[in-house]
Amino acid sequence: MTENNDFLTNSSLDVTQKGKQLREKILELISEYHEISHNNNKFVPGKTIVPVSGKVYDDYDLQMLASSSLDFWLTSGRFNAAFENELGKFLKMNYVLTTNSGSSANLLALTALTSNQFGKSALQEGDEVISVAAGFPTTINPILQNNLTPVFVDVEIPTYVINSKLIEKAITDKTKALILVTANGRYPVAGITAFEELCAENGIVLIEDSAQSLGSFYPDGRHMGTAGKIGSFSFSMPKIITTGQGGALITNDDDLAFKLHRLKDFGRSGGGLDIHDSIGYNFKFTDLQAVIGIEQMKKLEYRVERKKEILSLYRKLLESIPQVRFFEQDLKHTTPWFIDVIAEDRDGLIKHLKNNGIGSRVMYPPINKQEAYDLEGYHPVSEVIGRNGLWLPSANQLIDEEVEHICGTINSYY
């Protein structure tokens, strides 16, 4: 069994020797079951389907999940507290609040910053929030949901991160916040310090959407998500660690953490009391999710290195194909979430890959042009990404032979 003995036992439940023995037997059988039923995938080129992403787990993850289910503590309890503590230590942050998704984390962040608790510094209806044009709705929706005004800025060509020079031009006297999306674990060319200084000079709150960046650091040693007033993460299925669904917020601000805790729990003025001083949400994380996160965190270091190896192999095998171009990735400090490229004749390549049993996924088109938003603005780099951006198979469990097969298939198309 895994070394997490404290999490695989429960002395308050298993008060008899028979109970302890049964729990241990169950966990041993789960490990055996994993070996027989979950660990028998052998890659056969041309026959085995290669998905674009996938969850990564082993028998320890299954054991931990089973241990939590035997406790039958269905809400947030000892495992969630332990998971938040692990994240806090890894990120070197004072406060970590898990949420039921990364989307909820972003909504909580923006909602908290509009609180009257912060007086004149609170975001007010109509205030402008700058963010990236080539992004995902979960970054933009909270702006609109809080009656704020999104201002879209294009991305840089080398990094697919928001362009700092264009931010300066977008700032007005109504600009109150900037959401920096560290896309695929990458930081902007100008560096994070330039963003911090820009925000400080203009009285702008820096928010980091680091959903794709767990395991990635800025060159100054700080983890992505820790430079702003508040940072968010996602643990959805394709991420470098997963809890199925789930997310987290981090901050070192005492008052902000206090407000976030209240908003996450229906806006209650105190734990368990149905007295509300805010309009909040039920965004709590369950122990069944947290227990998987605890085990997944133990594997983060390996996964970070493996992701770097996978990207390096892709680059090597596709370097002679000019129709496929990679974004810049600082592999000394950061790790990719997805293997993303700009591909000529992308739609044809997608079809070719699919015909050969290989999955892929188009990258985010300009969000302001999507039907749900339909907002003004033309962002040429984001348009290129919308037309030609492609995510290739990126799962942590990819073996070199699979990457070689994928690249060989891409080569045969061009």
Q: Which H or E element spans position 303?
A: helix 300-318
Residues 311 and 368 in one domain: yes
Q: pLDDT confidence of 266, banded at 50, 70, 90?
A: confident
Higher-scoring residue by pLDDT: 119, 298:
298
Residues 157 and 268 in one domain: yes
Contact (CB, 8 A) for 250 and 105: no
The reply to whether 201 falls in a domain is yes
We report the CATH number of the domain holding residue 369 as: 3.90.1150.10
Residues 109 and 251 in one domain: yes
The reply to whether 224 falls in a domain is yes
Which is nearest to 138 in space by CA: 350, 351, 367, 319? 367
Whole-angstrom distance, CA of residue 98 vs CA of residue 411? 43
Query: What pLDDT score was predicted for residue 172?
Result: 97
* pLDDT at residue 197 tops 50: yes
The reply to whether 311 falls in a domain is yes
How far CA 310 is from CA of 315, 382, 413, in Å, comes to 9, 26, 21
Total domains present in the chain: 3
Which of these ranges, 43-57, 88-102, 171-185, has the smallest mean pLDDT?
43-57
Residues 155 and 278 in one domain: yes
Q: Mean of the per-residue pLDDT values for the chain?
A: 93
The reply to whether 72 falls in a domain is no
Segment 360-376 shows an average pLDDT of 93
Residues 283 and 339 in one domain: no
Which of residues 296, 322, 344 is at a domain's end?
296
Higher-scoring residue by pLDDT: 14, 387:
387
* pLDDT at residue 282 tops 90: yes
Whole-angstrom distance, CA of residue 405 vs CA of residue 411? 10
* pLDDT at residue 2 tops 70: no
The torsion angles phi and psi of 372, rounded to 5 degrees, stand at -65, -20
Residues 87 and 144 in one domain: yes
The reply to whether 360 falls in a domain is yes
Could you tell me the sign of the dihedral formed by the alpha carbons of 332, 342, 159, 207, in that order? negative
Structural domain containing residue 36? 5-66
The reply to whether 209 falls in a domain is yes
Residues 124 and 240 in one domain: yes
Residues 244 and 379 in one domain: no
The pTM of the whole model exceeds 0.85: yes
Which of residues 296, 330, 350 is at a domain's end?
296
The reply to whether 256 falls in a domain is yes
Residues 223 and 337 in one domain: no
Residues 161 and 92 in one domain: yes
Residues 276 and 139 in one domain: yes
Q: What is the pLDDT of residues 58-110, one digit of tens each?
A: 999 999 999 899 988 888 899 999 999 999 999 999 999 999 999 999 999 99
Which is nearest to 295 in space by CA: 23, 60, 29? 60
Residues 343 and 358 in one domain: yes
The reply to whether 239 falls in a domain is yes
Which of residues 66, 96, 113 is at a domain's end?
66
We report the CATH number of the domain holding residue 174 as: 3.40.640.10
Strand 175-181 with 128-132, pairing = parallel
Q: pLDDT confidence of 6, banded at 50, 70, 90?
A: confident
